[in-house]
Structure 1
């Protein structure tokens, strides 16, 4: 039987149906086809950003938080150079262990090369700016957030009158186990600052209660308060390790502080690498803002503090001591310790006093019967200059103050050069076990080495015997001291002149004091911010 042919109207309808089905199919496949053509893994618009493979591009006015939420391990988020993104941004916890990189859209040639400090005067124009929209931090790392790296990004507040307690907030007081601790978070070549015309209160720049936290090659500045401590970097409930390398660090109260608030069991700060930083205060802050210290450890196990410049610290809210190692169990909890610290090849200058160390926390209700909390510190090849004088008053100019309870124990000062206007060593507390002071050069002035505690005063050998359980004091130049009051095997010139030579006179046959030439070269690199 002959097959009947379809009528023309039916043929026309089927043609239209096939056309529309094909059109729908093409529209559905178009994004996939574009992705294949351009080698892209994802392709999306309409959420305040675009996705181009493993790169999420956020233009001016885009949604940075949405980009953070979408990003996967190994992705890069580029923020438009020069654009401002206002908000309070959270770093979500993600799967995977590759860094999510948040960086300026400017190319690598437009920002400093690796291991070079960022100068905001040169590079601010090519940096995206993240500013806090409220009194909350501009960046918060939720418990367990990890593997975020910021490169070439600026962080600040919106207006001079804004109040932000902590500008960048990594971790918190509540975290009590390692699973909750944010980790592997890096800030590299960033500009982190309060408002230059600040009238509000921005207390701290970076609160880094985390693990494997790195702050590198960055400029951190303008954190200042009139009636409280302004901090650049602070941590207290964080196991570390921490790398803080090649930064400019500026704050009115304390530039860098570890400890001072409650640490949960196992959360005490540890393993700090602090190198090639310039820690300072603006001179125009004098008489306006509350100044305390440049660097303080209230809770830290194992630290290397090497090749830094610490300068500009005067008597204000405290007596103007630059460096403090003061374990604070009353604030940080019973496990607070300052131990195994190396302080080497640094310059400390232009400060009312140089160093204060306590053996135990005099604020602790158990004081002085708690065990020694400060031990195993070594100060070697450092230059201390302009200690006292115009930076303090007649009661300042002290190089080293050792006070409160037993300790600190196993304390060594070797090959340091000290230009001080007050006492060289002030002893109050103790007894100290394992005190070694060798191959140093310093000024005696009126009091030299003096004991001022309840066990009696005295100058020279007498207080050393009273306040230590044995000591080593050899091959030092103590300018202006009476030799009869001090141990033998040292040098006690009335004054130091260019003709004096102590070459090869140290216990290790080296020159006495620090290596001034090496430290002068180090200073140039640190101030310039280059490796």
Structure 2
């Protein structure tokens, strides 16, 4: 394994790197981790400030910064480009601008603020490898998470590996081992399927990664708010599932997803399901998920649900004050006759919610094109019935609603349904 030019020795502490360009050596081989810690090392109080950290345009470079067993680390005002692995013929399969959450040493707190992050697989990931501890207190704000569209094979100016194969694309943001996480005020762009994933923007999935190397892994206490998420096949994947080797993680839950705007969910262009949120549960039980005041119009499915019909049901699920499209199929099953959502068209949306969730709250939402949802929600015929302040060429240009909109001040809190547009604009101002 070839490491990059900066490796912190055991015990390294109180370094601030400012204004450096960090890249790799000559082409022709894969390079892992341009900046990393020595194996099993600890380091603390590291700051990466106004740096350009990059791979090469057609070479395999897996990662910009590997956080490892580090504590008190900040990555701020920096620019990451060209992190990718080549499909079929490549040496690596996963690439990120920043990765962490693996190892046996304490990890966190981390501050990742005001960066441009360009990577093929995930822009940021925590987890996905061996670990005996959980990284904690992770702040991710005002980052631009991005993939160039010319990495997509159908584009006329397509750029892939030297042999013409495309880069492996997965999700924008992924948590497999993390706790106390704030994802706020980011702009996330361009996520498509066609590889091992299906173009979700955000994945929350505690994972005891094969071959069962992280039984203590968990994803808990995550807040996702005031983000603008654009150009994807689907929105959120929330999955508490076994690893390919059958191992279970420890916990997944206490998620607050509120005041996000999801634009251009397009399964045809981005090769995926066209779903707002997919929720899959095996073990551990999923609990305490709140999805509140979001705006999104997924063309196929609002909720895609999978959990054992034999239980336990998903507990304390709250879906309130959202402005969403029902999609062509409204609610769907992830598959199987033993699924609580089996035959969703026969059960209907309310039936699936009753079968799969306990102690749930589903009210004060405006649902475009939907029927059969619980009482206390507003059904709208089409997007024009929302009365957005700006629609041109059948595309929403301004997500504020007019005073005569049925979504106006219709929330359980007296606010407009959907995301707080002004709060999203304030949080993301200057990110692009």
Q: Give the corresponding residue for 1:477.
A: 366
Rounded to whole Å, the distance in 1 between the matches of 2:269 and 2:130 is 33
Rounded to whole Å, the distance in 2 between the matches of 1:289 and 1:334 is 30
Q: Give the corresponding residue for 1:336.
A: 217
1:166: Cα distance to partner?
1.5
Rounded to whole Å, the distance in 1 between the matches of 2:38 and 2:356 is 41
Residues 362 and 224 of structure 1, relative CA distance in 2, 3 Å threshold: closer
> Is 1:486 matched up with 2:373?
yes
* Relative contact order, higher structure (CA 8 A, sep 6+): 2
Q: How does 1:306-325 map to 2 (within 5 A)?
A: 306-317=184-195, 318-325=197-204
> Is 1:401 matched up with 2:267?
no
1:364: Cα distance to partner?
5.1
> Is 1:428 matched up with 2:306?
yes
> Is 1:189 matched up with 2:50?
yes
Q: Give the corresponding residue for 1:502.
A: 407
Q: Give the corresponding residue for 2:122.
A: 254
- Residue-by-residue CA offset, 1:128-179 (whole Å, 9 max, x unaligned): xxxxxx933210011211111101111001333353111111253xx3xxxx
Q: How does 1:373-388 map to 2 (within 5 A)?
A: 373-388=251-266
| Kept after mapping to 2: 8 A contact 1:231/1:253 | yes
1:268: Cα distance to partner?
2.1
| Kept after mapping to 2: 8 A contact 1:188/1:218 | yes
> Is 1:285 matched up with 2:285?
no
Provide runs of 4+ in structure 1 moved above 4 Å. none
| Kept after mapping to 1: 8 A contact 2:54/2:82 | yes
| Kept after mapping to 1: 8 A contact 2:4/2:23 | no
Q: Give the corresponding residue for 1:518.
A: 423
- Residue-by-residue CA offset, 1:58-96 (whole Å, 9 max, x unaligned): xxxxxxxxxxxxxxxxxxxxxxxxxxxxxxxxxxxxxxx
Q: Give the corresponding residue for 2:160.
A: none
Q: Give the corresponding residue for 2:158.
A: none
> Is 1:148 matched up with 2:19?
no
Rounded to whole Å, the distance in 2 between the matches of 1:171 and 1:480 is 55
Rounded to whole Å, the distance in 1 between the matches of 2:246 and 2:203 is 21
Q: Give the corresponding residue for 2:156.
A: none
Q: Tell me the SS of whatever aligns to 1:201.
A: coil
Q: How does 1:67-466 map to 2 (within 5 A)?
A: 135-172=2-39, 175=40, 180-196=41-57, 198=58, 200-209=59-68, 210-227=70-87, 228-235=93-100, 236-237=102-103, 238-264=106-132, 267-287=133-153, 288-317=166-195, 318-331=197-210, 332-363=213-244, 365-366=246-247, 373-393=251-271, 396-406=273-283, 407-429=285-307, 431-453=313-335, 454-455=338-339, 456-458=342-344, 459-466=348-355
Rounded to whole Å, the distance in 2 between the matches of 1:193 and 1:366 is 35
| Kept after mapping to 2: 8 A contact 1:327/1:361 | no
Larger Cα-atom Rg:
1
| Kept after mapping to 2: 8 A contact 1:414/1:439 | yes
| Kept after mapping to 2: 8 A contact 1:350/1:386 | yes
1:433: Cα distance to partner?
0.5
Rounded to whole Å, the distance in 1 between the matches of 2:421 and 2:274 is 21
The two structures have a TM-score, normalised by structure 1, of 0.68
Two-structure CA RMSD over aligned residues (Å):
1.9
Return the structure number with greater strand share.
Answer: 2
Rounded to whole Å, the distance in 1 between the matches of 2:46 and 2:81 is 20
1:358: Cα distance to partner?
1.2
Rounded to whole Å, the distance in 1 between the matches of 2:54 and 2:228 is 25
- Residue-by-residue CA offset, 1:381-431 (whole Å, 9 max, x unaligned): 1101111244334x5111100113153210001100012112111110162
Q: Tell me the SS of whatever aligns to 1:520.
A: helix
Q: Tell me the SS of whatever aligns to 2:355.
A: helix
- Give 5+ residue unaligned stretches, structure 2: 88-92, 154-165, 388-403
1:494: Cα distance to partner?
1.2
Return 302-311 or 267-276, whichever deviates more: 267-276
